[in-house]
Amino acid sequence: MDDFSGSNNLLSVFLEYCSIIQQFSKNEDMCNTTKLCYLILLCITEDEFANATMHDENVTFTVYLHKAPMRHRKRSSEKNLPSRPLAVALLDLMMEFIWSHMMRNFPFDLYTKCIGIIQRILSFQKRTRTRLSYSWRPLWNALICLLKFLQNCESQLTKHRDLFQLASRVINIFNLFITFGDTFLRTPEAYDEVFYETVRCYHVFDNLYAFAFRYANNDNEFKESALKLMVNLTNIRLITNHFNTKIETFSNTQNNPLTENQVLDLIRNNYDTLALKLHDDLDQYDNYSEKTSEASFFANIARNTIGQYRRQYSLDTNSSVQLSNILLNEVPTIS
């Protein structure tokens, strides 16, 4: 196979473009453009051939992802970026979106599509047993922080959106790693680490369960999705309860707090007594269909584009005016 290392292709340029556009999603037009980009990425990650190409370690590209300035991190000054499979760049792009968009004006729809893109990538890896060379911990930490944010901003966010549905999607990403991680994670150590991070942040999952329990036991519009979230948390709660008991017992015999390596050893030595529920549908998703979900969005995009064209360019001839009017009249028929 030819080595494409270091070169550019259309998708690598598109990913860089997405990293710029998504920084300005507070603006309505930019938000719509970001949504359009994510819809394209959803379709790409549903395609078997595209996924195979993005995961091919012989087909690598240098993709510069622009990052929003944030107080808790230094501005990136990387100049000599490594050449990597496009799936790595796409996962980094989604992780960057998660970190940079936890805000009061929460872009719920974009987050749903972001998590959907991650799920499709993992589903491909699980289905084909593809072991991507990727550092997963930063992604897990980003997802855990997102769950904390949803709980902390409950009063503002639950007024308009079903947070439990989004939280369930995030939890099922963890369930994919927990249940099937041994089929696609590159090393046994990476599989141990997903358990370690789950146990380390057990309080986030406990609080999320309590959050869902509160809504599931009252009559409200989110009762059903809260119950579903509680079910999806079953394995994570089994893991945290199982290993925390082992950790507590062992730590009582030590004079100092346990190190990460000690906790990892405890995890490795106690898999055999851990019983988990098997989830069969974690890699299943509804294929994208614009006719049922996004027809009005595309109609508005077309209408706004035509309107901007009419405002930007002077239409000197009657034929141009007639053409513009015909196009505007055709927009409502898009379905």
Between CA 96 and CA 21 the distance in angstroms is: 12
Q: Compute the average pLDDT of residues 149-168.
A: 87
Query: What are the phi and psi torsion angles at 69 (to 5°)?
Result: -65, 130
The pLDDT of residue 319: 52
pLDDT at 253 over 90: no
200-234 confidence digits (pLDDT tens): 999 999 999 999 999 999 888 889 999 999 999 99
Helix 10-21 and helix 28-46, axial crossing angle in degrees, nearest 10: 140
1-48 confidence digits (pLDDT tens): 444 455 678 999 999 999 999 998 888 888 889 999 999 999 999 999
167-178 confidence digits (pLDDT tens): 999 999 999 999
Distances (CA, A) of 310 to 31, 123, 331: 22, 44, 15
Give the residue, 126 or 318, on which the prediction is more confident: 126
Q: Compute the average pLDDT of residues 86-100.
A: 96
DSSP-assigned letters across all residues of 124-166? HHHHHT-------HHHHHHHHHHHHHHHHTHHHHTTTS-HHHH
Structure tokens, 227:
């119950």
Q: State the DSSP H helix or E strand holding residue 99, giving kind and residue range, or none if neither.
A: helix 86-100
Q: Compute the average pLDDT of residues 41-70.
A: 92
**Confidence tier at 330 by pLDDT (50, 70, 90):** low
pLDDT at 320 over 60: no
The Cα angle at residue 194 between residues 183 and 228, in degrees rounded to 5: 90
Between CA 46 and CA 123 the distance in angstroms is: 9
Strand 84-85 relative to strand 60-61, pairing:
antiparallel
102-153 confidence digits (pLDDT tens): 988 899 999 999 999 999 999 999 999 999 999 999 999 999 999 999 999 8
Structure tokens, 322:
């007639």
| Cβ-based neighbours of 206, under 8 Å, separated by 6 or more | 237, 240
The pLDDT of residue 321: 58
Q: Above pLDDT 90, what percent of the chain? A: 62
pLDDT at 328 over 70: no
Q: Which of 142, 99, 102, 94 is nearest to 121 (CA)?
A: 94
The pLDDT of residue 1: 41
286-307 confidence digits (pLDDT tens): 888 776 667 778 788 888 777 7
9-18, 152-161, 244-253: least confidently modelled range: 152-161
Between CA 288 and CA 111 the distance in angstroms is: 16
Query: What do you get for the CA distance between the two ends of the chain, in Å?
Result: 42
Q: Compute the average pLDDT of residues 324-333.
A: 57
Q: Compute the average pLDDT of residues 72-81.
A: 64
pLDDT at 71 over 70: no
Encode 233-242: b = buried (16+ Cβ within 10 Å), e = exposed. bebbbebbeb
Which residue type sits at 89?
A
176-190 confidence digits (pLDDT tens): 999 999 999 999 999
The pLDDT of residue 243: 96
